[in-house]
Every structure is written in C-alpha cells, then in structure tokens.
Amino acid sequence: MLIALLRALRHYRWLKLLAAGLFLSSLGSGLTLVLTMGLLLEWQAPALTLVLAYTLSTLPGWFGSVIGEKLCKRLSPFQILILAETIGLFSLGFLGWGVLHQQSTSLLLAQSVAALSGGMSFPALSQLLKYHLREEELPAATALETLVFAANVVVGIGVGVLIFGHLPPLMLLALDALSFILAIALLAAASKKPDKQQLKEEDQDNAVSTISWRKLSPLQQRSMLMLPMLASVGTPAMALMPALARSLPTETATSMALPLLLARGLGQLCGPLLLPADNLKNYANNNKLLLCCLLIFLGCYWLLPFSPIALLALGLIFIAHLASNVVYALVTFGLLANFSRQHISSASARAWRWQILTVGGISILAGGLADYLGPILAMELMSGLSLAIGAVLLHLTRVGKNSA
C-alpha cells in the first residue's frame, strides 16, 4: 500500500498538503498523550485513573462523530478538519492548567476535548478521500488513514519519549500548540485546490445522505461491524498497558510505559505496509487471516507481563500492533470500498461511534477488574472473552455465507 500512497501523493498537490497537515496534527496528539500519561505516572496515579485517561482520549469521540456527520451535510470536509484542529488547539488550555496546578482532572478534560475533535475529523476525512480519489486509488486512501492513525504514536510519542523529563512540561505544551497551528495552516492551503470548482460540482452530484441499517447489504453491515469488533479485542490490552508496565521486573513505570507506547506506534505504522494494494479485497474477507492476526496480538500481550528483559517486552508490543494494524487497514479499506460517496461519511461516523462505545465500556470494565483482580488477570479475562465473541461475529458475517 505504500507504493499506492506514494503514487497518489505525486499526483495530487492537495493530498500532499493534507498528509503533511494530518502528520503535524498527529505529532501534537502524541505529545499530548506523552505529557498526560507521563505526568499521571509521575504523580503515582492509580490504575483506574490511567484507564480513565485512556477512555477519555477516545469516548468523547462518539459525540464528535455525531457532530462531524451532521457538519458533512453543511460544510466541506476541509472546513470540518480545520474546525476540528482549532478545537484541538484550544484543548491545550486545559492541559496547561493541569500542568501548572498539578490537577489530574484538567489533564483528563484536555484528553476529552481532543477526542471530541478527533471524532469530528473521522467522517470528514473518509468523505474527502472517497470523493476525490478514484476507486483504484482507494488503497492509497487506506494507507493514508492507517498511517495517520499510527503517526501520533510513532512521531508524537517518539519525540515525546525522547524529550520528556529533559524539557519542562510547558515547553512541551508550546511545541504541541505549534504543531496544531502549522496543521491548520497546511489544511487551509490544501483546501485551495486548482480543481476546486470541479470538485465542488462533484460534491453537488454526490450529496451526503444518512444510511439505514436495514437497507444495507450483508457485506456493508459486515464492514461496519469490523471496527467495533477490532476495538473489543484490542481495548483490554491497550487500556491496561501502562498498568501492565508496572509488573515488569526490571524497569520503573515511567521509564518503561512510554517506550511501550512507542513500540506500539511502530507496529501500527509497519502493519499496513505488509499488505499488497492489489489484493486488499480478498484479504478483508479472509476470516482466517483476521483471526490469526488477532491471536498474534493477544498472544504477545499475554506474554508481556512475563518478559524478563525490557527489549523483549518492546518486541512483543511491536509484533502485537503489527498484527492488529493489518486488521485495522483491512477494516478501513472495507468501509471505503463498500459504501458510495453519498453514504461513506454516515457509515464511517456510525462505525466510529460503535467503536467508541465499545472502547469506553470495555476499558472502564477492565480498569475496575484490574483494581480487584490485578491488571494481568483482568486483561486475560476481558481480551479472551472479546476474542471469542469476535470469532463468532466473523463466522456469522462471513462473505461466503452472505453471498449464498
């Protein structure tokens, strides 16, 4: 898929600017996460608070996706993306207040507002890529979405891990704000495309409309269910990862938890690059491949607490998210490929909301269980149950059955 993305970037100037803007936005999101999690770990926050920080970094995206879906009927996708980035910039005010006054609540509030803006962006980005790229270029759109998803961890957390503790928190906050400001400028430049009038006419010919679940084909329903299914399997492990880091024998929580997040992002970045662009449809319908990747993901997380050295722990997390993001890339491709231009923003927003509800419910439950059973047992119980449910869902929605 990387070759397909590079080919599209060479062809479209607006796509270059969009990718650069999203990259900088992801840098800011990663720095926000490093600052929030790093300070909470330094302040010896309990496991439930760490899980709550993870939950609030995603759950408000439900409301954001509702807003984003409605705005897609009134504003252009670029206008929505710029608005979302502006809201993300203002969320740093809460983060700054929390840093100055050592208030965990303000840090969590900043995560919530940032998640709201992220939810607004998701349907707008899907609509933008579906409208203005040809069908044969959808692998490039899939690569862009999945790579942007990983960039906040690879770049933002990568940079953040290197400089956290060496620069004062307010300096990190200033870098965070600068990344958002530059992202807004690049998105504004991307919206001024040479073929803007032509694209405006195309938008009028493909007016956004809301989907009805009962009118969807079985393949479309499957495409929408895959995102919350992936979230249900991955959430217990990812939500408890900072707490799991504390169980490693040789490292402190602060020095180990953030590198684990970086290893996660590297796996997320590399996963989609393993997929050939010309065979994504067959891979997306291959239940054995999807289940195998999910088993690899959970197997690595189950082994993590028993890792004797830090390097092995980082390798396990890298492999886990290499596998999980293969699934994420195929899920993203399924949404883009199986819905029309009129329905893509509604379908992606609804799938995003189901994912958010899944993440929120499971992560809160996992955090509560972790306080009573410990993070290791809680993660094993919750992720194992989610995998079993996911396997049943894949079987019931398998493509051969649907086409029969």
pLDDT digits (tens, 9 = 90+) for 346-400: 888 888 888 888 887 887 788 788 878 888 888 888 888 889 988 988 888 876 6
Domains contained in the chain, number: 1
92-102 tens-digit pLDDT = 888 889 888 88
Tokens of 142: 């899939």
Which segment of 90-104, 252-266, 333-347, 389-403 scores lowest on mean pLDDT? 252-266
Most confident of 17-21, 209-213, 361-365: 17-21
Taking the C-alpha atoms of residue 49 and residue 111, their distance in angstroms, rounded to an integer, is 13
Which segment of 80-84, 119-123, 134-138, 180-184 scores lowest on mean pLDDT? 134-138
CA 337 to centroid of chain Cα atoms:
19
- Domain hosting 253: range is 2-402
223 and 54 Cβ atoms separated by less than 8 Å: no
CATH code of 315's domain: 1.20.1250.20
Which segment of 132-136, 208-212, 251-255, 291-295 scores lowest on mean pLDDT? 251-255
Tell me, what's the pLDDT at 72? Answer: 86
State the sign of the Cα–Cα–Cα–Cα dihedral 377, 383, 387, 388. Answer: positive
Q: How confident is the model at residue 189 (pLDDT cuts 50, 70, 90)?
A: very high
Taking the C-alpha atoms of residue 82 and residue 117, their distance in angstroms, rounded to an integer, is 10
393 and 230 Cβ atoms separated by less than 8 Å: no
Q: How confident is the model at residue 404 (pLDDT cuts 50, 70, 90)?
A: very low
Q: How many CB atoms lie within 10 A of CB 156?
A: 28
pLDDT > 90 fraction of the chain, expressed in percent and rounded: 9
Q: How confident is the model at residue 403 (pLDDT cuts 50, 70, 90)?
A: very low
Q: How many CB atoms lie within 10 A of CB 364?
A: 18
Give Rg (Cα) of the chain: 20
